[in-house]
Structure 1
Amino acid sequence: MSTDRSRVRRACPGVAAPMSTGDGLLMRVRHPIGGLDAGQAQTLAEVARRFGSGALELTSRGNLQLRGLDTAGLEPARAELENAGLADHDPAVEAVRNVLVAPVSDIDPEAAMDVQPLARALERALGEYPRLRALPPKVGVLVEAGGDLPLDRVPADLRLEACTGLGGVWFRVAVGASSRTATVLGWTRPEKVVDVALAVLERFVELREGEVDPPGRVAAAVARFGPNELTPPGLERVLPGGDWVAARIPGYADAGIGMCLNGRAFGIAFPFGALRAEALQGLAEHIRAHDGRLRLTPWRSLLVTGVPPVEPDRVTEWGGVTDPDDPRLAVSACIGQTGCSAGSTATRADAEAAAACGLLGGGGQVHVSGCDKHCGRPANAQVLLTAREGRYELALQRAPVRWETVLTRLEPGRVELALAALDAIAREEGGGNESRIEALQRLEGTVLTRRMNAKMNNGDSA
């Protein structure tokens, strides 16, 4: 066995480079563009069950993780995944193949175009371009098409976003964050977009060279060197013959959970993105009879396409959710101490307690982290619980990159009480069209801390 294929990575694991965790080794299968067919889903379920613990996780990058593998099972697991077209033989290719694509642009009538062929071409080019092997492992590209399930709020290093302008489809080339806050480099036509993306990423690699503290993400390079340094020649500065905002088609807030696309897709979410091999096996059997597919989304959900909807009882049996208003979808959590040596709390049990809080029904999103690495934290998290030595710090998002701690040393058993107090204050302060989170963000941190403590100590959080 070669050294490259036996290494264990500390972060950003793949199939060729798994990561050691508290419950064994973790393999991450890169986002399958266009989804999984029945055979691939079956293979994943079997590999998870035979060589791992049977636990799988959907990630916010549209990837799928297999947990609980041991060293002896790595090679046969890799071989089966490679044979199914789910992994690369070359670890260096796998490391740069970080492309997230709109999951249903091929069947979404409101999409600007089907971007999946373009995304596959980009994925191949990334693997064939030796210069880009120097990209930091977390750097990823998003290929978007608008429509009913847009990726506007999904963060990415490089955004390639299709919409209609003068003469047909154009791609907005932008860097970092969400669609609304990204730095726009310019506009290009579909036939040029792969070359443009490679040029931006190559320039990012060049700018990192020779730096004592090189930027780890493309947005950080823009902040340090300016957008012009990453803009390749030939880009249009504005959308020809159109307006970006007008060209976008609003999507559904439920991210496709339940029926969507006029009945052409059926979305199933899993709390915390966690599912068992038995669920994936059942879904494989369901799509096999109709030649359907399972599309992985960045919302930690699966879209079942080309087949009738799954019976609700089966979804419940698998631990899935099809109601977009289910409060469990408004909380997220890393695996915590049950599966990670860095975790000091049972994060998912504490997150389930948080799901009972009314704050979430008012548009809030809570993430519970077992340590300060904040693995799996979604971009739209507004309340953050961070474990330190078995207790939590509770922080509120004040700006996209700034958090303010309002409680410290919070016992896990008091998480639900603390969030209920936060919700009570939000309801007292809120009014008009303001969300509960927006009401909280108006309050000064020390005032919020004092009021929360008073409610928790007096039992007044109803």
Structure 2
Amino acid sequence: MLAAMPDSAPSPVSAGGASPRAGGDACPGTLRLHRADDGALARVRIPGGVLDPGRADALLVAAERFGDGELHLTSRGNVQLRGLGTECGGGLAGLLTDAGLLPSAAHERARNIVASPLAGLDGSPSLAGWLAELDRLVCGSPAAAALSGRFLFALDAGGGDVDALGADVTLIARGPDALLRIGAGDEVFRVPADAAPRAALRAAEAFLRAAHGGAAAHAAAAAPGSGALQDSGSPASAASQDSGSPASAPQVSAAWRVRDLPDAVRTELVRSIGATAGPAVHHPRPRHRKAAAPAPGPVGATAAVSVGVPLGRLTPAQWRLLTETARRYGGELRLTPWRGIVVPGPFPRQEAAEALRALAGAGLITTADSPWTGVGACIGHPGCAKSLADVRAEAGAAVSGEGSAAPAAGRSAAGAEAGAAVGRPGRLPVYWSGCERRCGHPHGEWIDVVATPDGHRISHVRGERREPTTTVRNDDPARLAAAVAEARAL
């Protein structure tokens, strides 16, 4: 079985450089499991993070029947099931298909769509129509079956939250129109709102042609008047569809994502899209966002409630409570790219407070002053063979102010104070990684804590820039907690 790369792991190619990839995309899904140290892993794509209670029930059944019973949220609002038996593939796929969670076997890893989780709840426009239509178009496009499991669509309600994630194709609601962004560039194209999902798909198909054909072939295919952004199934898309069936779509691309394209090819890709979409508009992508995630608590008075999930891991009891809350009120769960969940209402005011109390009692984050707010970690040891540390336990120890193995009586004042400070509101997010891959790390501005053979390296990340680092020895957990708290306070 091919090794897999989690949602936000770094691409193995440098931005602007040609990809050395010689094999197919190895990202896990529900039909291709990844073997980890704690058993097999499946990743279930949840477009926009939107789940109705019935599908949420099915995910829990799958986790309890085939895995360790827990559900893990990813940095793209998807769900991972861990501890799976290696022979569960057929049963898992059948269960998810029956629940409507696997509408196209050929496209199951291509349905990577994030959406603003508060769309339609905080005064921003609803994105439900765009989300349903884009998912339908992706699943109906033979060419889109060749998209990497890492290629990302984003639907932004206008506030910049998911636009800041640097997706490959982003749609931004803007009045009666939409803005179409390709990659992380600061230029966007204005398109009619009702044509936005189709424009997003065409841009993804154009990316595939660029990735497969290189600069010269793409320039010829995407020249103005060539129909480069015509519907799937048109003669212009034949090169990326072969016989027109999903099974025959090319499965090996020269690049996983837009940023992996050589500079000249990426520039030509954007130019070709502009030739069909219209003049470019300068609209810089948001950067260094500290508070893009919905704040825990009530949303828009009582239009919804928002909770965070410590380290993105949900027990069966927590998942059942969330599902029952959704079933009683809005009938929907929205999984966020920041490992949280929004339950749309409306909630009667008193019942919103009661729901939040129950969710807090179950161990979920319901207030901004929770010590867990902004704290994340990869799966770490022992779940991942590459990890050099049990970073989840270390993150928890830092949050609580307790050294990883030190008795409470022996804790230093610095360690106790650091633990109290690490989750205070207004602090920068912090992400603990067990190795240099930093799987699932956040975007924008954050504190990066990486386990190394010599200790934990701490640095301040601002978009593409990384500040000078500090290294703390592995045998000094109190100093580690203090150093992390100090870094988050910058």
The answer (yes or no) to whether the contact 1:103–1:295 under 8 Å persists in 2 is: yes
Residue 357 of structure 2 corresponds to residue 324 of structure 1: no
Residue 463 of structure 2 corresponds to residue 400 of structure 1: yes
Residue 302 of structure 2 corresponds to residue 263 of structure 1: yes
Match of 2:276, SS state, is coil
Q: CA deviation at 1:114?
A: 2.4
Distance 1:89 1:225, change over 3 A: closer
Equivalent in the alignment of 1:173: 180
Distance 1:41 1:173, change over 3 A: same
Equivalent in the alignment of 1:371: 435
* CA-to-aligned-CA distance 1:135-187 (integer Å, 9 cap, x gap): 2321110011126x9434333111110111xxxx111111334xxxx432411
116-125 or 310-319, which deviates more: 310-319
Residue 357 of structure 2 corresponds to residue 345 of structure 1: no
The answer (yes or no) to whether the contact 1:275–1:319 under 8 Å persists in 2 is: no
How far apart in 2 are the matches of 1:422 and 1:48? Answer: 34
Query: What amino acid is the match of 2:41?
Result: L
Residue 148 of structure 2 corresponds to residue 136 of structure 1: yes
How far apart in 2 are the matches of 1:35 and 1:220? Answer: 29
Residue 296 of structure 2 corresponds to residue 237 of structure 1: no
Match of 2:50, SS state, is coil
5+ residue gaps in structure 2? 6-26, 216-252, 402-417
Alignment of 1:294-333 (within 5 A): 294-306=333-345, 307=347, 308-309=351-352, 311-333=355-377
The answer (yes or no) to whether the contact 1:188–1:235 under 8 Å persists in 2 is: yes
How far apart in 2 are the matches of 1:225 and 1:34? Answer: 32
Give me the TM-score of the superposition, normalised by structure 2.
Answer: 0.74
* CA-to-aligned-CA distance 1:77-96 (integer Å, 9 cap, x gap): 22111111112451x21121
Q: CA deviation at 1:252?
A: 7.3
Distance 1:414 1:158, change over 3 A: farther
* CA-to-aligned-CA distance 1:88-129 (integer Å, 9 cap, x gap): 451x21121111122343x33622x32222222111222222
How far apart in 2 are the matches of 1:390 and 1:371? Answer: 12
* CA-to-aligned-CA distance 1:325-377 (integer Å, 9 cap, x gap): 22312221001012111112110111123335336645322211111111110
Q: CA deviation at 1:73?
A: 2.7
Alignment of 1:59-70 (within 5 A): 59-70=74-85
Q: CA deviation at 1:396?
A: 2.9
Match of 1:377, SS state, is coil
User: Which of 149, 169, 174 is 1:163 aligned to?
Assistant: 174
The answer (yes or no) to whether the contact 1:334–1:368 under 8 Å persists in 2 is: yes
The answer (yes or no) to whether the contact 2:50–2:335 under 8 Å persists in 1 is: yes
How far apart in 2 are the matches of 1:421 and 1:97? Answer: 39
How far apart in 1 are the matches of 2:332 and 2:290? Answer: 22
User: Which of 116, 138, 141 is 1:102 aligned to?
Assistant: 116
Alignment of 1:351-362 (within 5 A): 351-355=395-399, 357=418, 358=421, 361=424, 362=426
Residue 105 of structure 2 corresponds to residue 117 of structure 1: no
How far apart in 1 are the matches of 2:189 and 2:78? Answer: 29
How far apart in 1 are the matches of 2:361 and 2:382? Answer: 23
- The aligned length equals 401
Equivalent in the alignment of 1:448: none
Residue 21 of structure 2 corresponds to residue 10 of structure 1: no
Q: Indicate the percent of aligned positions where both proteins have the same amino acid.
A: 29
276-285 or 388-397, which deviates more: 388-397
Distance 1:160 1:312, change over 3 A: closer
How far apart in 2 are the matches of 1:354 and 1:172? Answer: 42
Distance 1:86 1:336, change over 3 A: same
5+ residue gaps in structure 1? 1-6, 427-434, 438-462
338-347 or 199-208, which deviates more: 199-208
Distance 1:344 1:27, change over 3 A: same
Distance 1:251 1:347, change over 3 A: closer
Q: CA deviation at 1:199?
A: 2.5
Query: What amino acid is the match of 2:382?
Result: T
The answer (yes or no) to whether the contact 1:37–1:292 under 8 Å persists in 2 is: yes
The answer (yes or no) to whether the contact 1:110–1:146 under 8 Å persists in 2 is: no
Query: What amino acid is the match of 2:171?
Result: L
RMSD: 3.0
The answer (yes or no) to whether the contact 1:270–1:321 under 8 Å persists in 2 is: yes
The answer (yes or no) to whether the contact 1:204–1:218 under 8 Å persists in 2 is: yes
Q: CA deviation at 1:255?
A: 0.8
263-272 or 36-45, which deviates more: 36-45
How far apart in 2 are the matches of 1:369 and 1:205? Answer: 32
How far apart in 2 are the matches of 1:388 and 1:45? Answer: 35
* CA-to-aligned-CA distance 1:236-263 (integer Å, 9 cap, x gap): 4356xxx969xxxx99755141100221
Q: CA deviation at 1:54?
A: 1.1
Equivalent in the alignment of 1:388: 452
304-313 or 76-85, which deviates more: 304-313
Q: CA deviation at 1:218?
A: 0.9
Distance 1:285 1:421, change over 3 A: closer
How far apart in 2 are the matches of 1:118 and 1:253? Answer: 21
Q: CA deviation at 1:313?
A: 4.8
How far apart in 2 are the matches of 1:60 and 1:34? Answer: 11
